[in-house]
């Protein structure tokens, strides 16, 4: 017996993109007319040497293109990539929700899917009825479902609402029950799409723990997530999709690194930036972030090293130049300031083209999106100042080395505290 749980061979999926009235609503007479004239149009296209017109080619999108891989029984494999990379399309094909345009996908064993909140749930049925419905879809007997029923309800924490139609559930209740059903009804293969993006931090931790438990029980899991720490924690291997193509299938650490270290350059944005102030004796030309290997990045994990490089052009002499950079949260709150003068760094600016380098050994900021304001000044006054440049994403990480993920609302700054405990006698407080 083969030990392969999922085999994908040359998988491609093409979607047709609607263009104006052409793919809009059609009456019956329009459909019949199209069918009548279709052979004539096809013959004319062949005579012209093309089976597909240029407009047809322009109105299609390949969500997946020639994707092939294998996943072994009992593996937990991460699936990562930017939005629109084809992750959800791949899971829908594996779940038999949509058909591939080319290639094939084979799965050995029962498949449980959690692709979107409420997928596979009937809104008019109660939570109790949907549990039995999903179990039946998975091919389980009533007795099997009943043995797992109490565990599912306890995990989802919706005991009071089991006899309420799920259309009246909040999104949090919905996803808790959906995940509980998918994880507890013992499918051989579990497909999970961004379940960690919904729900509170406590529920996300429960999901992580349950997926770890499922994997240790020998079941196969294919997990889509933008939480890179979860991918590295749960998965030994990971797949990187980019614009529908499989770019990498290797160890989770290597794939996450390749995904995070993406090039970013602000040169073009700064050349057209209008919201800048100062005397103009110098001008910021580019801002870039780099890792220890000097690779250009725009994403860094919490607590990691960061190198900021500022290139500027000098049009007139500067007297005791000062360089200041301030990181702002996506809500406009200043959270970190880097000031050459406050650091005791003095440099005379004489070259017409120069670079300022600022290195931070541990960027102790909570996960989120940030941007940079950059200013150049001298003894006379402000020389150049640009705002809301160089977006930076800080990813979650095992910052404390405990294997625990920090709560998303823990604050903007994180620390590595030292803990101690002492036994005290005497009366109670």
Top mean-pLDDT range of 24-28, 46-50, 217-221:
217-221
Q: Are residues 170 and 297 in the same domain?
A: no
403: pLDDT strictly greater than 80: no
Task: Give the residues across from 193 on adjacent strands.
Answer: 224
Question: pLDDT, tens digit, for every residue of 222-259?
Answer: 988 877 777 888 888 999 998 899 999 999 988 887 77
Domain assignment present for 423: no
CA distances from 164 to 124, 361, 389, 402 (A): 9, 53, 49, 40
Question: pLDDT, tens digit, for every residue of 413-429?
Answer: 888 888 888 888 888 76
Q: Where a domain ends, among 260, 275, 296?
A: 260
pLDDT, the chain, mean: 81
Q: Are residues 9 and 37 in the same domain?
A: no
Tell me, what's the pLDDT at 232? 82
Tell me, what's the pLDDT at 39? 67
Cα 375–chain centre separation? 32
Domain assignment present for 319: yes
Tell me, what's the pLDDT at 204? 72
Distance CA(228)–CA(254), nearest Å, equals: 11
Mean pLDDT on 346-354: 77
88: pLDDT strictly greater than 80: yes
| Residue 60 exposure: Cα atoms within 13 Å on the Cβ side | 13
Domain assignment present for 429: no
Distance CA(196)–CA(207), nearest Å, equals: 7
Tell me, what's the pLDDT at 10? 94
Domain ranges, residue 39:
24-58
| Lowest-confidence pick of 118-122, 174-178, 312-316, 405-409 | 405-409
Higher pLDDT, 80 or 409: 80
Tell me, what's the pLDDT at 21? 43
Residue 299 burial (CB count, 10 A): 19
* Residue in the block written with tokens 């609402």: 161
Q: Are residues 315 and 354 in the same domain?
A: yes
Q: Are residues 291 and 188 in the same domain?
A: no
Q: Are residues 10 and 137 in the same domain?
A: yes
Tell me, what's the pLDDT at 260? 65
pLDDT tier, 176 (very low <50, low <70, confident <90, very high otherwise): confident
Distance CA(259)–CA(253), nearest Å, equals: 10
58: pLDDT strictly greater than 60: no
Tell me, what's the pLDDT at 250? 93
Top mean-pLDDT range of 26-35, 319-328, 412-421:
319-328
Q: Are residues 113 and 160 in the same domain?
A: yes
Closest CA to 247 of 237, 257, 258: 258
- How many domains are contained in the chain? 3
Mean pLDDT on 353-381: 90
Q: Are residues 201 and 86 in the same domain?
A: yes
283: pLDDT strictly greater than 50: yes
| Lowest-confidence pick of 158-172, 243-257, 362-376, 393-407 | 393-407
Q: Are residues 74 and 177 in the same domain?
A: yes
């Amino acid at each position: 017996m083969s030990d392969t749980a999922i085999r994908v061979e040359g998988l491609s999926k093409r979607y047709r993109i609607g263009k104006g009235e052409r793919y809009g609503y059609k009456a019956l007479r329009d459909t019949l007319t199209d069918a009548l004239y279709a052979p004539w149009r096809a013959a004319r296209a062949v005579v012209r040497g093309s089976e597909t017109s240029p407009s047809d080619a322009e109105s299609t999108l390949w969500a997946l293109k020639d994707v092939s891989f294998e996943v072994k029984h009992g593996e937990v494999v991460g699936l990562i990539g930017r939005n629109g990379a084809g992750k959800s399309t791949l899971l829908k094909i594996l779940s038999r929700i949509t058909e591939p345009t080319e290639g094939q996908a084979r799965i050995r064993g029962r498949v449980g899917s959690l692709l979107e909140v409420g997928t596979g749930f009937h809104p008019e049925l109660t939570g109790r009825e949907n549990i039995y419905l999903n179990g039946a879809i998975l091919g389980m007997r009533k007795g099997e479902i009943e043995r797992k029923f109490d565990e599912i309800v306890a995990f989802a924490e919706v005991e009071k609402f089991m006899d309420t139609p799920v259309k009246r559930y909040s999104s949090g209740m919905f996803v808790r029950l959906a995940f509980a059903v998918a994880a507890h009804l013992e499918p051989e293969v579990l497909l999970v799409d961004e379940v960690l993006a919904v729900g509170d931090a406590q529920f996300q931790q429960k999901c992580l723990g349950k997926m770890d438990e499922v994997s240790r029980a020998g079941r196969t899991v294919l997990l889509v997530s933008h939480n890179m720490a979860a991918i590295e924690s749960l998965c030994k291997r990971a797949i990187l999709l980019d614009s529908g193509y499989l770019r990498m299938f290797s160890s989770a650490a290597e794939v996450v690194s390749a995904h995070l270290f993406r090039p970013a350059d602000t040169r073009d944005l700064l050349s057209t930036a209008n919201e800048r102030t100062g005397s103009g004796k110098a001008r910021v030309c580019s801002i870039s972030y780099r890792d220890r290997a000097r690779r250009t990045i725009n994403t860094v994990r919490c607590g990691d090293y960061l190198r900021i490089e500022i290139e500027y052009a000098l049009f007139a002499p500067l007297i005791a130049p000062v360089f200041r950079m301030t990181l702002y949260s996506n809500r406009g709150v200043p959270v970190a300031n880097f000031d050459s003068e406050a650091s005791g760094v003095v440099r005379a600016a004489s070259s017409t083209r120069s670079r300022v380098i600022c290195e931070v050994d541990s960027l102790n900021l909570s996960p989120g999106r940030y941007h940079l304001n950059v200013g150049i000044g001298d003894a006379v006054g402000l020389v150049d100042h640009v705002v809301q440049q160089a977006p930076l994403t800080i990813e979650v990480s095992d910052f404390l080395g405990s294997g625990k993920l920090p709560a998303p609302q823990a604050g903007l700054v994180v620390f590595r505290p030292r803990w101690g405990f002492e036994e005290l006698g005497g009366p109670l407080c």
